[in-house]
Structures are given as C-alpha cells and as structure tokens.
Amino acid sequence: MADKTHNDSATTARQDNPAGPDRAPRDPAAESLAHALHLSFRLLTVIMIVIVVAFLLTGIRQIKPGQAGIIYRFGRIVDVVGRGLCYAWPFPIGDIEVVDISPKDLRVDDFWMAETAEDKTVERLIDRQVRNDGLQPGWDGALVTGDGNLIHVRFECNYQIGSENGMDPDESLLLDHKYNVNDLDLKDRAQTKDLLRSVICQAAIRTAAGQTAESIRRNQEVFWGVVHQGAQDVLSDLDTGIKINLLTMEFTWPLRVLPEVEAATKARQEAEKQLNAAIAEAKSVLVQTAGDKYWLLVGKTGGDGHHGDTSDQDAGPGLIALYADALAAGQTDQAAKRLAEIQRVLVSDQIAGQVRPIIDDAKAKTYAMLDALDGRVTRFRELLPEYRRNREFVIQRLWADARDAILSSATIEKYYFSPGDGKLVIKLDRHPDVVKQVREGLLKEAAGGSPP
C-alpha cells in the first residue's frame, strides 16, 4: 500500500514537470522573448537580402540613343556598350560612365571682330558703328591672308566624339578621346572644345597663308572645305576620337572698308550682269543666224577668255578664227585647209537659222549655173564641127537665134528705131505697161523654175 502511494506521487511529479527532474520549469516571459528574437532574426535576414539585391540592381543602367556606356571593374575599363540596358558591378567594385556621343555645335569666332550687345542687335554688318581706333589686337580677331590683307571669318562646327554616326559608339574612338583628351570627366566638354577650337584655328591660318583675300571671298566653300580636311587630319593623327561632321564659315571684310568693298562688289555684279546679258544677246543672234552649231564657225560665246560656250566643252575656237590666225601667220596651206572646213560646215546640215535659206538658195543657183554651163558646153561641142565647115553660116544663125530670143522675151524691154543718119535721142522713161509686162514675165519664169 505504501509502495502504491509512492508510485502515484512520482507519476504526479512527472506530469507536473515534463522536462524531467534535471530541467528547470518553463518561464512564459522567456519563451515569448525567444520567439520575438527568432522572428526578428528572420526579418533581418529578409531585409539584408533585399538590401543586397537592391545594391546589385544599382549596377543596371539604361543607355539612351546618342549615348555610350564605359564599364569599369576595379577601376579598369572592361567594355564599351551602346544604347539599351547594361549591367556592371555596383560601386566601388565597378561603375558605368555614361557619355554623350551625339553631335554638338561649336562656334569658332577667334577671327571675328569683337561684338557688343548693341552690335549684335544690328543685323547688317555695314550698318554697324565703326570704332575710330580700328582693330584692336587681343580684342578683335582677324585672319591674315597670303596677300597681306585682313579678313574676318567665323566658323560653325558640328562635331561628335567616340562615334562615326552620332548614335552608336565606336570603342576605339571613344577610348582614344578618353585617354588622350579628356581623361577626367567626359561630361565636361571644355577640354574637347578648347582642343577643337585650337585645331580649327591652326588649319585656317595655314590655309589662308596660301590664298588671297579675294580668292577666299570668291571660293568660300572651297576654303572652309580645306580647313575642315586639315583640322580633321590633325585630330586623326593625334588620336583624339573627334570627328568633324560639318564646318561652315561666315566671311566679311573689316568694317572700316566694308562700304568701299560693298560699292566695288555692286559695280562688279552690275558689270557681270551686263556682260552676261551681252553674251546672251550675242548667243541669241548667232543661234538665229546659224543655229545651235554656230560655235563651229565663230567659236564659243562664253566669257571664259577663249570663245567659250560651256554647253559644249569639246568645242575649241571657231573655224573662222583659226582661218584668220593661219592667214596672219602666213600658213597658206593651213589657211586653205581651214577654208575648206568652213565651206564643208556651211553646206552641211549642222548650220541652220537665217543662214540656211541663203545657203540653200546659193546652192540651188550654183547647180543651175553648172547646169547652164554644162548645156553651153554641150551646145558648143555640137556647133564646133559646123563652125569649122561653114563659119559665116553658123555666126549668122547664132545672131538670128539671139535676136529672136530678145524679141520674144517678155522680160526684156525693147526700143525700136527707124534707120537713118539723123541725130538719135533715146528717152529712158519706162512705160507702166512695159514695166507690168516685164514683171509678169519674171513671175512666170520664177513659177516655172527657169532662170531669169
């Protein structure tokens, strides 16, 4: 009985202390604290993971069109990327430097006169106020030409770095510019602009030294084209990664002489206008006279100093001029050759205009005369044997034929006189009826095609 009571007590004790006799009884407060710490640790783990992911995501960059990205890793450049999404390890492990490679504009006014705010409001340079002290070195810019004159020029330059087309990066060009020109911050274009301005100025000075001021004024596009090429060659030789897309120029004379230059320019333009009008009128007259191929005879009508007509570059001086030159030089054989060429051109189909009917009429009369001569030769050969047999008879017959032809012709005005030894007075006043009769005869002959 005592043993049973002891066992029941032990069972009750084990139920009251499930941890066993060696464990302390549970504390509800401690248990709550442990649970809170466990949740906090899990939350902290999630936060740390989010922070790490967010940190890694900071390496994602969006490169826009006209931009390039230079990817660094541990301070070294490892890649150059174009537009689109790209990734690099976050700083300080890596970084992405975004560079603007789109075309930019730069004005180079080192050779331009100094302009105040008031000057810029005056649109025309000739209307600006001229300073009494003239050009001031260090303040006004000017370009010295090969003939010792001073001119003002201002360049407008469109350029880009690290790209051939301004949209997609060229790794070689971009890194050349990074290493050789602007290794600190590619967003700061100050060094780039200073270098580009200096190179353009040097190219302009070299080019102007070999030309006159007037040639530069007349051929401005050629001048700035040479400056463009010279500046680009220097930039390429220096491996700057800079490409000049377009270079244009504004030209003017110094303001002090601008009115005189303006007057001379107007006079020259008026002279050119009158010269062009005279050339056009001369060409029009020549075309009306001899057709479009007039230059074969008289040469070109352009104002290029050698009878030039720019419509036919292969044509040289006219045949008439060559004929005259050969005569003046005493080259008779050459002159005869040129004269034959002139005749060949005149009778060919190349000559038209007002000359064409005259030439055709002359050709027709020539053929008619040749036919008439041929007929006379034939008639002479027929009469020659008879003449040799009976000379007087042939002569009398020829005289009779001539008298009959004269008396029967309606186009010949005839006078009849009575024979006698008295004084003969001839009145040459033509009777209207006779004149009418002669004209009618001529018209009939012309309509019939026979020579008058």
88-142: pLDDT as tens digits: 778 888 788 888 888 899 999 899 887 767 666 656 665 566 666 666 676 788 8
Q: Look at 80-89, 207-216, 249-258 and tell me which has the smallest mean pLDDT.
A: 80-89
Alpha carbons 255 and 151: distance in angstroms, whole number:
10
The band of 235, judged by pLDDT with boundaries at 50, 70 and 90, is: very high
Alpha carbons 404 and 398: distance in angstroms, whole number:
10
266-283: pLDDT as tens digits: 888 899 999 999 888 888
294-322: pLDDT as tens digits: 888 888 765 444 444 444 444 467 888 88
Average pLDDT over residues 2-19: 50
The band of 451, judged by pLDDT with boundaries at 50, 70 and 90, is: very low
Mean pLDDT of the chain, nearest integer? 80
Output the pLDDT for position 428.
67
What 3-state class would DSSP assign to 69?
Answer: strand
Output the pLDDT for position 106.
94
Alpha carbons 220 and 139: distance in angstroms, whole number:
25
Of 213 and 431, which is predicted with more confidence?
213
Helix runs in 295-408, H state only: 295-298, 319-328, 332-347, 355-389, 391-408
359-399: pLDDT as tens digits: 888 888 888 999 999 998 998 898 888 888 888 888 998 89
Is 339 exposed, middle or buried (CB count within 10 Å of its CB: 0-12, 13-18, 19+)? middle
Dig out the tokens for 88 from the structure: 């690099």
Average pLDDT over residues 14-40: 66
pTM beyond 0.85, yes or no: no
Output the pLDDT for position 447.
67
Output the pLDDT for position 304.
43
Q: Is the pLDDT of residue 12 over 60?
A: no
Q: Is the pLDDT of residue 160 over 60?
A: yes
Q: Look at 8-12, 32-36, 135-139, 248-252 and tell me which has the smallest mean pLDDT.
A: 8-12
Alpha carbons 174 and 33: distance in angstroms, whole number:
61
In the chain, what percentage of residues exceed pLDDT 70?
81
